[in-house]
């Protein structure tokens, strides 16, 4: 291999697995490939857990509306700024240097990783539980949960280690198979009990006219889909058209991901009807609702799906961290992430504490998404100085106050507080009913966007925020 | 990242920015007016469905 071609390959690798802008000629994906990868990311055991959780709140028709229309609504709004990633070939975290400051991005991305990445420990934990159920069906002794969950993390990380080629090849085969099995399981769920048991399902304690459980279910759907905000741009920045990157994100989660949420709900309702138990483990569901051998389908629905999710997640968050820690290689970063999740798996109690931890964490995502949306469309009006964003010599528009943008960070704290002021997720208590109809995530998004826009209209703040205008073409 | 790597990163970045700023650079097709109209329609349909769902 010539020296020039080696340098070119190294630069291309740094673009794909790092922070350099990806050129149009290097883009890998059309709409369909991006859709398959993002669908593969969204289809994991947590979809069934979410579906089973929603059945405790609302009837099946409201569940369908929330899972599809609620999810697509939030996605179609908060994912709009991914078009910047396609336009410039960059991650949103490069743009966010303009909103939060260089050091502000490091601080917020670390918080997002700390709060969000334990999702993968939960996924690995569910993988272990399902695999042990499968071993039980085969009359084999169970394996230690920590061993199985660390295996799931290691397998996903190994795929991500190989780069996007391995992930793309895997999802091209895996996702269509998952969707096919999903349709089969949906039919099995509907035929294992009278169809009207599912269609007319109402949760225990249903009160006609009480709108609060419905709003909580919509909030659960908003919170569920907005967790991707930190890693939403890594795949779209590799797509060839702005609309492909955007719609792949919206439908990857809002259609494919939501289909598996509904699948989890159907199986949970059917299980409740046939066994009296609200089970969300797909292996047990399949074995109980069809024939025990069908539990083997969970090898696909759980094993491969969770490993695929782990792989895409490692890539997304590895690249996201790369924006903050450019001195550390992508591969070293995904190994650090794997160690973090592996330790949580060995600890073994993440699922027990995760509900409260995650709900509070979700309060950070909405203000972050609101800032990006408002900054891109209304403050910076789709123009950024890439030279300042990358801190090239002589370009310091985003240095702000010691590397922190006080205005952006203040807005995040404001949005976080607004969310908690409306609803206490730990005690499940509504504090401000009139604002609760917007849902905590929805109102936090709207109020943060409004505050940020108003602040940026004040002349001296505008001067602080928009030092980059002379550099923007 | 040592100084050499940092310098080569910055050189590569400048090269890429130069390519992207060139008048003949073929950028990704933009999100156009039709895309925005479709997105707005999807958002409105979803809002209507979510509000309607409260009355089921």
**C-alpha–C-alpha distance, residues A54 and A62, integer Å:** 10
Q: Which of residues 15-44 of B touch A (CB under 8 A)?
A: 16-17, 19-21, 25-32, 35, 39, 42-43
Contacts of B42 in chain A (CB under 8 A): 72, 76, 250
Question: How many independent structural domains does chain A possess?
Answer: 1
From the CA atom positions of chain B, what is the Rg in Å? 23
Domain hosting residue A132, numbered range:
24-352
Q: Do B28 and A390 touch (CB under 8 A)?
A: no
Q: What are phi and psi of A239, to 5 degrees?
A: -95, 160
Q: What is the CATH number of the domain that holds A230?
A: 1.10.4160.10
How far is CA A341 from its chain centroid? 16
From the CA atom positions of chain A, what is the Rg in Å? 22
Residues present in chain A in total = 473
Q: Do A87 and B43 touch (CB under 8 A)?
A: no
Q: Which H or E run includes A248?
A: helix A242-251
**C-alpha–C-alpha distance, residues A350 and A344, integer Å:** 6
User: What was the ipTM of the complex prediction?
Assistant: 0.92
In a domain? residue A422:
no
In a domain? residue A148:
yes
In a domain? residue A228:
yes
> What's the gap in Å between the CA of B27 and the closest CA on chain A?
6
SS3 B43: helix
Q: B50 and chain A: CB distance < 8 Å anywhere?
A: yes
Query: Across the 473 residues of chain A, what is the mean pLDDT of every consecutive 10-residue run?
Result: 56 69 91 90 80 92 97 96 94 94 93 85 87 85 93 93 82 82 83 90 89 93 88 90 96 90 91 82 77 71 82 87 85 94 89 66 88 96 92 91 96 94 86 93 95 97 93 75
SS3 A401: strand
In a domain? residue A407:
no
Residue A8 has a pLDDT of 59
In a domain? residue A367:
no
Q: Do B31 and A242 touch (CB under 8 A)?
A: yes
Residue of B nearest to A27 (CA): B28
**C-alpha–C-alpha distance, residues A277 and A298, integer Å:** 19
Dihedral of CA atoms A295, A297, A301, A303 in degrees, nearest 10, equals 80
Q: How far is CA A228 from CA A224, A341, A347, A365, in A?
A: 8, 17, 25, 9
Residue A9 has a pLDDT of 65
Residue A467 has a pLDDT of 92
**C-alpha–C-alpha distance, residues A245 and A82, integer Å:** 7
Is residue A266 within 8 A of residue A199, CB to CB? The reply is: no
Q: At A301, list the tokens.
A: 């629905």
DSSP for A309-335 reads HHHHHHHHHHHHHHHH-TTS-HHHHHH
How far is CA A449 from its chain centroid? 21
In a domain? residue A383:
no
SS3 A432: coil
- Residue of A34, A76, A251, A328 best to disrupt the B interface, most CBs of B under 10 A: A76
A185: Cβ contacts below 8 Å, ≥ 6 apart: A263, A267, A282, A286, A297, A301
SS3 A239: strand
Residue A1 has a pLDDT of 46
> What's the gap in Å between the CA of A211 and the closest CA on chain B?
7
In a domain? residue A268:
yes
Q: Which H or E run includes A423?
A: strand A423-424
Q: Give start and end residues of each alpha helix (H) in A79-232.
A: 82-88, 92-100, 102-116, 118-137, 145-162, 164-192, 195-199, 212-226
SS3 A22: coil
Q: What are phi and psi of A423, to 5 degrees?
A: -145, 130
In a domain? residue A106:
yes
Nearest to A392 among B10, B27, B32 (CB): B10
> What's the gap in Å between the CA of A139 and the closest CA on chain B?
45
């Amino acid at each position: 291999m010539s020296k020039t071609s080696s340098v070119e390959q190294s630069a291309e690798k740094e673009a794909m697995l790092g922070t350099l802008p990806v050129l149009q000629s290097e883009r890998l994906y059309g709409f369909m490939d991006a859709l398959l990868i993002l669908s593969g990311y969204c289809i994991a055991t947590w979809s069934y857990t979410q579906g089973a959780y929603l059945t405790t709140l609302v009837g099946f028709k409201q569940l369908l509306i929330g899972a599809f229309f609620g999810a697509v609504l939030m996605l179609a709004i908060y994912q709009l700024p991914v078009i910047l990633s396609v336009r410039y070939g960059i991650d949103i975290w490069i743009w966010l240097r303009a909103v939060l400051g260089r050091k502000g991005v490091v601080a917020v991305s670390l918080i997002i990783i700390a709060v969000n990445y334990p999702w993968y420990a939960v996924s690995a934990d569910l993988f272990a539980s399902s695999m042990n159920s499968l071993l039980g069906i085969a009359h084999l002794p169970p394996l230690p949960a920590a061993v199985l969950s660390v295996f799931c993390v290691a397998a996903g990380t190994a795929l991500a280690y190989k780069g996007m080629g391995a992930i793309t090849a895997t999802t091209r085969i895996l996702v269509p198979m998952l969707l096919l099995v999903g349709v089969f399981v949906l039919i099995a769920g509907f035929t294992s009990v009278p169809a009207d048991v599912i269609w007319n399902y109402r949760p225990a304690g249903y009160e006609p006219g009480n709108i609060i459980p419905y709003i909580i279910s919509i909030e659960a759907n908003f919170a569920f889909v907005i967790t991707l905000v930190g890693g939403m741009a890594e795949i779209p920045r590799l797509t060839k058209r702005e609309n492909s990157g955007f719609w792949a994100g919206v439908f990857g989660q809002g259609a494919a991901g939501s289909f598996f949420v509904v699948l989890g709900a159907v199986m949970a309702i059917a299980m409740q009807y046939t066994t009296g138990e609200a089970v969300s483990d797909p292996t047990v569901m399949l074995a109980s609702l069809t024939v025990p051998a069908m539990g083997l389908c969970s090898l696909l629905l759980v094993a491969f799906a969770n490993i695929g999710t782990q792989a895409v997640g490692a890539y997304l968050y590895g690249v996201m961290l790369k924006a903050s820690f450019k001195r550390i290689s992508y591969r070293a970063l995904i190994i650090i992430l794997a160690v973090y999740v592996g330790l949580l798996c060995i600890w073994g109690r993440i699922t027990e504490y995760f509900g409260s931890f995650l709900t509070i964490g979700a309060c950070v995502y909405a203000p972050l998404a609101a800032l990006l949306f408002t900054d891109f469309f209304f403050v910076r009006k789709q123009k950024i100085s890439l030279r300042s964003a990358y801190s090239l010599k002589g370009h310091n528009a985003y240095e702000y106050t010691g590397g922190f943008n006080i205005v952006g960070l203040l807005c995040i704290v404001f949005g976080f507080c607004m969310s908690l002021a409306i609803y206490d997720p730990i005690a499940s208590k509504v504090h401000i009913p009139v604002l609760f109809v917007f849902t905590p995530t929805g109102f936090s998004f709207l109020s943060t966007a409004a505050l940020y826009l108003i602040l940026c209209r004040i002349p001296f703040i505008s001067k602080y925020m928009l030092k980059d205008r002379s550099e923007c073409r | 990242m040592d100084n050499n790597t940092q310098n080569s990163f910055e050189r590569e970045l400048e090269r890429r920015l130069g390519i992207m700023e060139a008048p003949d650079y073929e950028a990704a097709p933009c999100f156009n007016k039709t895309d925005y109209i479709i997105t707005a329609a999807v958002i409105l349909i979803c809002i209507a469905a979510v509000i309607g769902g409260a009355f089921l």
